[in-house]
Structure 1
Amino acid sequence: MSGRFPLCRIAALGLAFWMVGGVFRAGAQPTGRVDTLTADAAVQRALTEHPRVQAARQQRTAAAASVREARSEWFPVIEGQARYRRLSENVDYTVDLPTLPGSGGERVTFAPAILNRYAAQARVEQPLFTGFRIPNQLEAAQAQTRAARAQVDATRTTVAYETRAAYWRLYEAQAREAAASDALRQIERRLTDVQNRQAEGMATETDVLRVKARRDQVRLEQIQAQNDVQTARRQLNDKLRRPLDAPVALADTVTIDAPALPDASRLVARAREHRGDLEALRQTVTARDAEVDVAQSGWYPQISLFGSYLYARPNEQLFPPEDQFEGSWEAGVSLSWRLSVGGQTDAAADRARAQRLAARYELQDRRQAVTVEVRTQVQNVRQAREAVRAAETSVQSAQEAYRSAQSRYEEGMAVVSDLLDAEQARRRARARLAAAQAEYALARAALDRALGRGTTSASP
C-alpha cells in the first residue's frame, strides 16, 4: 500500500493538471460566433461603416463650412499690428536755413531724431458694395452644400446596392453548395446500394463505375460551390468592414412580389425626383450660375468704410513728433475700381460660363441615363420574376422525374444511368432556381438603386 499511494497521488495530480490545462485551452479557442443578418441589416451596417459614405459625409461638412466662410464676408474685417523700429545713428532732422546775404546761416531742427520707434495700430473695414460678389458667393456655397448633401444620399444608395448584391450572391452560392452537398449524400447512398446489388449479382461493375464517376463529378461541383461561398462571404464582409473570413448566416430568402410593377413612366418620374446624383447635379448647375455672377463682379467698383486707430511712440501723424506714446485715428470711405487691361475679368467670366454649360450638359446626359436605367431595370425585374417561376416549375418537374426514375430503378425497369441522369437534372434545376432567385433579388436591388432608394428595399 505504501508503495502504491505516491503513484496514485502522482496520477491524480497529473489528471488534475491535464483537466485544468484543457479548461485553459478551451477558453483560449475562438468562439466562432456567427452573425445572422437580413439584407436590410447588412445594408444598415455597411452605411455606418463604409469609408465611401464617411468620405461623402466629410465633403458635406466641408461644404457647410464654406457657407459660413462666404457669409463671413458680410462682417467687418478687423486687423491689428504692432511693430518696433530702430533707426541708424546718422538720422538727423536739422538743416541750415539761408538768411540775408552776407550773414551766417541758421541751423533749424524740424523734429527730434527719435531712434527707437514703437507703434500699435487697429484697423476695421466694412464692405458696402462688392459688385454683388458676396451674395453670389454665398448662393454658390449654399448650392454646393445642397449638392454635397445629395451626393451623400447617392453614395448611400450605391453602397446599399453593392451590399445587397454581395448578400444575394452569397445566398446563391450557399444554395448551390447545399444542392451539391445534398446530391453528394444521395449519390454516396446510391453507391452503397449499387455495390450491394453487385454483391447480389443484380448490378455490374460498369454500374458501380458510373456511380463513382458521377460522385466524383458532384464532389468537384461541391468544392467549386464551397469556393464560391468563401469568395462571396469575403465580398460581403468587405462591404460590412468585418474580418474577411468571419462567418455569417443569411436570414432572408427570396420572395416574389405578387403585385405587378407600376408603369415605367411613373417610375422614371419618381427616379428623376428622388435620385441623389440628379439632385447633386441640379444644385451644381445652380452653383455654377452664381459663380458666373461672382466672376462678373470684377467689372464693378468696390466700396467700403474704414477706420483705424494708431498708438505710437512717436506718432508720425502728429507734428512735431515727440518721444512719448500718443494716439490718433482716421475714418473714411474707400472706392476702388480695378480695370484689368489684360482682360482677367472677361477670362474668369468665360471660364465660369463654360463650367456652367458643362454642368447643364452633364445634368441633361444623366437625366437621359436615368430614364434608360429605370426602364431597363423594370424589364429585368419582370424577366427575372418569370425566370424564377419557370425555374420553380423545372424543379417540380425534375423532382417528379427523379422519383419516377427511382421507382422504376427499384422495380428493375430502369438502369442506374437513367437514375443518375434524373438526379443530375434535378440538381441542375435546383441550381438554376437558386441562380434565378438571386438574379431576381439583384434585379430588385438594381431597380431600388435606379429609383434612388438607399436604406430599405420596398415595392415600387
Structure 2
Amino acid sequence: MTRMGLLAVVCLLAAQPVVAQPAVSLTIDEAVARALAHAPRLAEVRARERAAEATRAAYEAAGRPSVSALTGFVRTNHVDEFGLVQPDGTRRIIFPDIPSNYRVRAEIGVPLVTGGRVDALVASAEAERRAVAAESASVEADIEFETVVAYWTLALARARVDVLEQAQRRADAVVSDVAARVETGLLPPNEQLSAEAQRARQRVQLIEAQNAAAVAEAQLARLVGVEPGQPIDLTTPVAGDMTIAGEVGDPSVLAREAARRRAERQALGDRAAAAEAAARAAAAALRPQLTALAAIEPARPNARFVPRVDEWNTSWDLGVTLSWSLFDGGRSRAERAAALARAEAIRAAMDDFDAAVDVDVRARQADVAAARAGLAAAAEAVAAAREARRVVGERFEAGVATTTDVLDADVALLEAELEQTRLAVALRIGQARLMRSAGIRR
C-alpha cells in the first residue's frame, strides 16, 4: 500500500463518529443494590468478620486434644564401651558405643481443667465476631444511605438544570421581544441591555448547575460501580410515593425501636460482652490448670532400656500435669481491670448512643414534616408565580408593563420552581435520614 493510500485509510478511520457509551438506567432500589454489591468497604468488613470467626475457632481448638509427633537423629562421638566381666569369663557390655541415635515420639495432650479460661476466650471471640457482623450491617446501612442521598442529589441537580434551561429559553424570548420593540422605537435601548444582563446572569446559574450535576453524577457512579463518563438515567421520579414507615407516630416509641434495631448499638453491646469475657479469661489465668498427657516413643537405642542396645525399642508414658500460677507480678489482675474498664466505657457509650438516637429521631421526624409542609406551600407559590408571569406577559404585550416587570416575574417564577424542586428532594433525603436514624432498611 502506498503512503497516500495508507494516509487515506487513517483519515477515513479518524473521521468515523465516536460511539457514545449507553446510559445506565437505575431506579433507586437498583442503585442501592449495585452499591452494596460494589462497595469495597463492605468487602473489608466482611473480611474482618471472617478473621473474627477464625479467631474464635482458634480459641475453641485450645480446649480440644492436641496431637504432635517428632522425629530426630543425633550423631555422637565414639566412647569407650563400659562392661562387666561375668563369672563365666564373658564380658557383658553395660554402656556400648552407639554413635547413631534415632528417635520417634508421638504424644497427645488433653486439657482437663482450664479454670474457665478457654470458655471465656471463646465467649470473648464470639462476642467480637457478632460485633464485627453488626458493623457489617451498619456499613450496609451507611452505603444504602449514601447511595440514596447521591441519587436524589443528582436528581435535584438535574432538575435545577432543567428549570434553568427553561428560564434561559424564556430569557431568550424576552430579549428577542425587547430587541424588536427597541428597533420599532417602542422601548428605549436600556431595556434591551437590562434584558440581556438578566439573561447573562441566568446563563451563569445554568453553567454552575450543569457543573454541579456532572459532579453529582460522578459521585453516584463511584458508589454504584459505573464507569467514569458513562451516563446514568434516573428512572425513579422525585414526586413518586413519598410515604415511609416511621414518618408519623410517637417519637419515643420509634426511638426505642431504633435503639433496638441499630446495628451500631448491637456492636457496642457485643463489644462490651467481649470485654467482660476477656476479664473472666484474665482472672482464670490465676486458677489451676490440669492437663493429661499420653505418649509413645520408639527409639534406637532407647534410653529407658538398660543396657543400651543398638536396636529399636518402644516405650510409652501416661501422665497428668497440674500447673498453678501463684504469682505473676499482678499482670493477670491488671489485665482483668483493663478489660472491665473497657466494658464500663462501652456501656457508657451505649447510654450516650441511646440518648443521641432519641434526639436524632425526633429531629428527623421534624425535618420530614417541615419538608412536606414546605413542599405543599411551594406548589402554591409556583402556581401563583406562574399565573403572575402570565398576567405580566399580557400586560407587557398590551404596553402597560415594563421589561423590568417581566424580568422580575421571570425571576420570581424561577425561584419558586427551584424551591419546589429543592423541597421535593429535601423530603426524599429527609426520609432517608429518618430511615437511617430509626434503623429501618429499604
Q: Which moved more, 1:294-303 or 1:342-351?
A: 342-351
Map 1:171-182 → 2, pairs under 5 A: 171-182=155-166
Aligned match for 2:177, one of 193, 204, 208: 193
Map 1:210-225 → 2, pairs under 5 A: 210-225=194-209
Map 1:80-91 → 2, pairs under 5 A: 80-89=69-78, 91=79
How big is the shift at 1:93?
5.7
Count of residue pairs the alignment pairs up:
428
Paired position in structure 1 for 2:88: none
How big is the shift at 1:325?
1.5
Q: Distance in 2 between matches of 1:275 and 1:60?
A: 18
Secondary structure of 1:330 counterpart: strand
**2:35 matched to 1:46?**
yes
Tell whether the 8 Å contact from 1:409 to 1:419 is kept in structure 2 after alignment: yes
Secondary structure of 2:68 counterpart: strand
How big is the shift at 1:203?
2.1
One-letter code of the match for 1:172? L
Tell whether the 8 Å contact from 2:49 to 2:132 is kept in structure 1 after alignment: yes
Paired position in structure 2 for 1:355: 342
Instruction: Decide whether aligned partners of structure 1 residues 336 and 50 sit closer, same or farther in structure 2, where only a CA change above 3 A counts.
Output: same
How big is the shift at 1:95?
8.5
Q: Distance in 2 between matches of 1:30 and 1:65?
A: 50
Tell whether the 8 Å contact from 1:233 to 1:244 is kept in structure 2 after alignment: no
Paired position in structure 1 for 2:402: 415
Paired position in structure 2 for 1:55: 44
Q: Distance in 2 between matches of 1:186 and 1:159?
A: 40
Paired position in structure 2 for 1:329: 316
How big is the shift at 1:22?
6.3
Tell whether the 8 Å contact from 1:154 to 1:452 is kept in structure 2 after alignment: no
Tell whether the 8 Å contact from 1:230 to 1:245 is kept in structure 2 after alignment: no
Q: Distance in 1 between matches of 2:80 and 2:215?
A: 88
Tell whether the 8 Å contact from 2:155 to 2:238 is kept in structure 1 after alignment: no
Tell whether the 8 Å contact from 2:111 to 2:290 is kept in structure 1 after alignment: yes
Paired position in structure 2 for 1:3: none
Paired position in structure 2 for 1:282: 269
Q: Distance in 1 between matches of 2:170 and 2:43?
A: 49
Secondary structure of 1:81 counterpart: strand
How big is the shift at 1:370?
1.5
One-letter code of the match for 1:33? P
How big is the shift at 1:242?
2.4
Identity %: 30
Structure 1, unaligned stretches of length 5 or more?
1-13, 98-106
Q: Which moved more, 1:399-408 or 1:336-345?
A: 336-345
Q: Distance in 2 between matches of 1:110 and 1:78?
A: 35
How big is the shift at 1:341?
4.1
Q: Distance in 2 between matches of 1:139 and 1:436?
A: 50
Q: Distance in 2 between matches of 1:324 and 1:62?
A: 49
Structure 2, unaligned stretches of length 5 or more?
86-90
Paired position in structure 2 for 1:450: 437
Q: 4+ residue runs of structure 1 moved beyond 6 angstroms?
A: none
**2:152 matched to 1:168?**
yes
Q: Which moved more, 1:252-261 or 1:199-208?
A: 252-261
Secondary structure of 2:95 counterpart: coil
How big is the shift at 1:25?
2.9
Aligned match for 1:66, one of 36, 39, 55: 55
Note the alpha carbon deviations across 1:268-295, whole angstroms, 9 max, x for none.
0110111111111111111122111111
Secondary structure of 2:166 counterpart: helix
Paired position in structure 2 for 1:31: 20
Secondary structure of 2:62 counterpart: helix
How big is the shift at 1:369?
1.7
How big is the shift at 1:122?
0.6
Q: Distance in 2 between matches of 1:72 and 1:24?
A: 69
Aligned match for 1:125, one of 109, 117, 122: 109
If the length of structure 2 is used for normalisation, what is the TM-score?
A: 0.91
Instruction: Decide whether aligned partners of structure 1 residues 24 and 108 sit closer, same or farther in structure 2, where only a CA change above 3 A counts.
Output: farther
**2:82 matched to 1:94?**
yes
Tell whether the 8 Å contact from 1:402 to 1:426 is kept in structure 2 after alignment: yes
Instruction: Decide whether aligned partners of structure 1 residues 445 and 92 sit closer, same or farther in structure 2, where only a CA change above 3 A counts.
Output: farther
One-letter code of the match for 1:151? E
Map 1:393-408 → 2, pairs under 5 A: 393-408=380-395
One-letter code of the match for 2:275? R
Secondary structure of 1:114 counterpart: coil
Q: Distance in 2 between matches of 1:250 and 1:427?
A: 23
Q: Distance in 2 between matches of 1:341 and 1:35?
A: 65
Aligned match for 2:255, one of 255, 258, 268: 268
**2:99 matched to 1:115?**
yes
Map 1:136-147 → 2, pairs under 5 A: 136-147=120-131
How big is the shift at 1:53?
1.1
Q: Distance in 2 between matches of 1:271 and 1:405?
A: 52
Root-mean-square deviation (CA, aligned residues, Å) is 2.3
Aligned match for 1:248, one of 232, 253, 278: 232
Instruction: Decide whether aligned partners of structure 1 residues 339 and 193 sit closer, same or farther in structure 2, where only a CA change above 3 A counts.
Output: same
Instruction: Decide whether aligned partners of structure 1 residues 261 and 93 sit closer, same or farther in structure 2, where only a CA change above 3 A counts.
Output: farther
Paired position in structure 1 for 2:419: 432
Aligned match for 2:278, one of 291, 300, 310: 291
Q: Distance in 2 between matches of 1:120 and 1:183?
A: 92
Note the alpha carbon deviations across 1:88-126, whole angstroms, 9 max, x for none.
23x4463899xxxxxxxxx99531121111111111001
Aligned match for 1:159, one of 143, 151, 165: 143
Instruction: Decide whether aligned partners of structure 1 residues 258 and 241 sit closer, same or farther in structure 2, where only a CA change above 3 A counts.
Output: closer
Q: Distance in 1 between matches of 2:51 and 2:387?
A: 64
One-letter code of the match for 1:392? A
Paired position in structure 2 for 1:184: 168
Tell whether the 8 Å contact from 2:242 to 2:428 is kept in structure 1 after alignment: no
Q: Distance in 1 between matches of 2:83 and 2:329?
A: 48
One-letter code of the match for 1:94? F
One-letter code of the match for 1:32? Q
How big is the shift at 1:266?
1.6
How big is the shift at 1:385?
1.3
One-letter code of the match for 2:76? L
Tell whether the 8 Å contact from 1:81 to 1:121 is kept in structure 2 after alignment: yes
Paired position in structure 2 for 1:78: 67
